[in-house]
């Protein structure tokens, strides 16, 4: 196959002036027509529209934005694309932005502070109007100073003392509810797999677990708290699970702060010939697609990812339009406990 290589001499692109000439009006009138100003007589507008049609004119958006001092672009920074949790939030962000005629520059920060910074600098250089931050690894000092000058919304995670709006669920409450659920099933030997990061969700889930255990007067064993890596990778979860399942006595339930980790626990259990939930109860967090692909379907906490993404956009644009009466600077959306198959009563239920 050989192609005729087109030399894309796009040629002098049609601009507003040529449209004006063609329509026999001034550029101002063309511009007004373009922006649906009511000050243009219908008959004139019609003439302009015809000229636009004939010449195939498309307004130069950057020029317009330069003049209006906006970019109609928002940034969405995520530490990776591989976690379906982020994918769903990004989908929500994209949907809402689409409706509001904004474009989303999706940035994969890889969890590196320097790429986070480079992306955020696009705000200073007027390439984007605002940014939505999913889980990030900031040096908070820098971010705090930055946030004072820029429009930023935090989604899922938030830095508590950062004065910018956020959207998330009540991680603490959800965790307490989940752990109480396990306790009510009869579990007392409940272990936990967290992650090696400083996310507020990680900290709140840890605290929720501790408080739920304390409330029932159940002792918490330090070696039943293992850490996966910062990004909840399957491999790191596997390692944590193997350690946990090697303790004696073994926990009867493992509360994981992400679904992927829960799946890794199930995988580790499978490897050891332990049945789930028969011999081991496992719970996840987030409710991503993975959870109902193979049995046992995962018992987990569902987050309204899509809605969280959408809400972030709204919050951000509220800020951009300087509607200062915008309420709910810190927004919490409802979560839901999904009872499925990976959690059941322990085989030799101890009394509470």
Say whether residue 40 binds DNA (CB under 7 A).
Answer: yes
> What is the closest distance, in whole angstroms, from the C-beta atom of residue 49 to DNA in the complex?
12
Strands 300-302 and 336-338: antiparallel
Q: What is the distance between the alpha carbons of residues 68 and 189, in angstroms, rounded to a whole number?
A: 61
Say whether residue 121 binds a copy of itself (CB under 8 A).
Answer: yes
Q: What is the distance between the alpha carbons of residues 156 and 176, in angstroms, rounded to a whole number?
A: 18
Q: What is the distance between the alpha carbons of residues 69 and 71, in angstroms, rounded to a whole number?
A: 7
Q: What is the distance between the alpha carbons of residues 38 and 32, in angstroms, rounded to a whole number?
A: 8
Of 28-36, 136-144, 173-181, 324-332: span binding a copy of itself (CB under 8 A): 324-332
63, exposed or middle or buried, with CB in 10 Å at 0-12, 13-18, 19+? exposed
Say whether residue 141 binds a copy of itself (CB under 8 A).
Answer: no
Say whether residue 111 binds a copy of itself (CB under 8 A).
Answer: no
| Total number of residues shown for the chain | 352
Say whether residue 107 binds a copy of itself (CB under 8 A).
Answer: yes
Tell me the two tokens of residue 337.
């406990």
Residue 41 interacts with which of a copy of itself, DNA, none, CB < 5 to 8 Å by class: DNA
Interface residue with DNA, options 21, 64, 203, 250 (CB under 7 A):
64
Interface residue with a copy of itself, options 293, 321, 327, 351 (CB under 8 A):
293
> What is the closest distance, in whole angstroms, from the C-beta atom of residue 36 to DNA in the complex?
10
Question: With respect to a copy of itself, which residue has the nearer C-beta, 61 or 275?
Answer: 61
Question: With respect to DNA, which residue has the nearer C-beta, 69 or 114?
Answer: 69
Say whether residue 149 binds DNA (CB under 7 A).
Answer: no
Of 37-45, 164-172, 188-196, 199-207: span binding DNA (CB under 7 A): 37-45
Say whether residue 13 binds DNA (CB under 7 A).
Answer: yes
Question: With respect to DNA, which residue has the nearer C-beta, 61 or 270?
Answer: 61
End-to-end CA distance of the chain: 75
The closest of 11, 47, 6, 8 to 29, measured between CA atoms, is: 47
Interface of this chain with a copy of itself, residues 252 to 291, rule: CB under 8 A: 263-264, 266-267, 270, 289-290
Phi, psi of 148 (to 5 degrees): -70, -30
Residue 327 interacts with which of a copy of itself, DNA, none, CB < 5 to 8 Å by class: none
Say whether residue 84 binds DNA (CB under 7 A).
Answer: no
Residue 223 interacts with which of DNA, a copy of itself, none, CB < 5 to 8 Å by class: none
Of 118-126, 134-142, 179-187, 189-197: span binding a copy of itself (CB under 8 A): 118-126
Say whether residue 43 binds DNA (CB under 7 A).
Answer: yes
- Give yes or no for a cis peptide into 255 (omega within 30° of 0): no
Interface residue with DNA, options 35, 82, 270, 347 (CB under 7 A):
35
The total of other beta-carbon atoms located within 10 Å of residue 334's CB is 11
Helices (H), 100-199: 113-124, 140-149, 171-185
Tell me the two tokens of residue 342.
């990976």
Q: What is the distance between the alpha carbons of residues 32 and 175, in angstroms, rounded to a whole number?
A: 55
Strands (E), the chain: 73-78, 103-108, 130-133, 152-155, 166-169, 190-195, 225-228, 253-256, 281-283, 300-302, 330-333, 336-338
Question: With respect to a copy of itself, which residue has the nearer C-beta, 7 or 43?
Answer: 7
Interface of this chain with a copy of itself, residues 218 to 237, rule: CB under 8 A: 234
> What is the closest distance, in whole angstroms, from the C-beta atom of residue 130 to DNA in the complex?
18
Positions that interact with DNA (CB under 7 A)? 12-13, 15-17, 24-32, 34-35, 38-41, 43-45, 57-60, 63-64, 66-69
């Amino acid at each position: 196959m050989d192609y005729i290589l087109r030399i894309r001499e796009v040629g002098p692109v049609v601009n507003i002036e040529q449209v004006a000439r063609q329509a026999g009006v001034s550029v101002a009138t063309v511009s007004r027509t373009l922006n649906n100003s009511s000050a243009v007589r219908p008959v004139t507008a019609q003439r302009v529209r015809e000229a636009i049609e004939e010449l195939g004119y498309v307004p130069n958006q950057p020029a317009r934005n330069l003049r209006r001092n906006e970019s109609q672009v928002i940034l969405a920074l995520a530490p990776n694309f591989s976690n379906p949790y982020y994918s769903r939030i990004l989908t929500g962000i994209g949907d809402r932005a689409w409706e509001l005629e904004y474009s989303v520059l999706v940035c994969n920060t890889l969890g590196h502070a320097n790429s986070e910074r480079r992306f955020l600098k696009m705000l200073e250089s007027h390439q984007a109007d605002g940014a939505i931050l999913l889980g990030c690894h900031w040096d908070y000092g820098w971010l705090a100073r930055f946030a004072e000058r820029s429009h930023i919304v935090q989604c899922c995670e938030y830095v508590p003392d950062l004065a910018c709006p956020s959207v998330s669920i009540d991680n603490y409450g959800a965790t307490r509810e989940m752990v109480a659920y396990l306790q009510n099933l009869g579990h007392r030997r409940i272990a936990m797999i967290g992650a090696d990061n400083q996310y507020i969700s990680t900290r709140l889930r840890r605290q929720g677990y501790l408080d739920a255990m304390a409330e029932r007067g159940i002792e918490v064993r330090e070696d039943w708290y293992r850490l996966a890596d910062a990004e909840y990778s399957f491999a790191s979860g596997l390692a944590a699970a193997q350690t946990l399942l090697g303790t004696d006595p073994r926990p009867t339930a493992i509360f994981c702060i992400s679904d992927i980790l829960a799946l890794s626990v199930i995988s580790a259990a499978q490897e050891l010939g332990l049945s789930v939930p028969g011999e081991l109860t496992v719970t996840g967090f987030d409710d991503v697609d993975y959870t109902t692909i193979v049995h046992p379907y995962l018992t987990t906490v569902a987050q309204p990812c899509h809605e969280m993404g959408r809400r972030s956009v709204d919050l951000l644009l509220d800020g951009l339009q300087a509607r200062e009466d915008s309420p709910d600077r810190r927004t919490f959306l409802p979560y839901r406990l999904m009872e499925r198959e990976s959690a059941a009563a322990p085989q030799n239920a101890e009394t509470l």
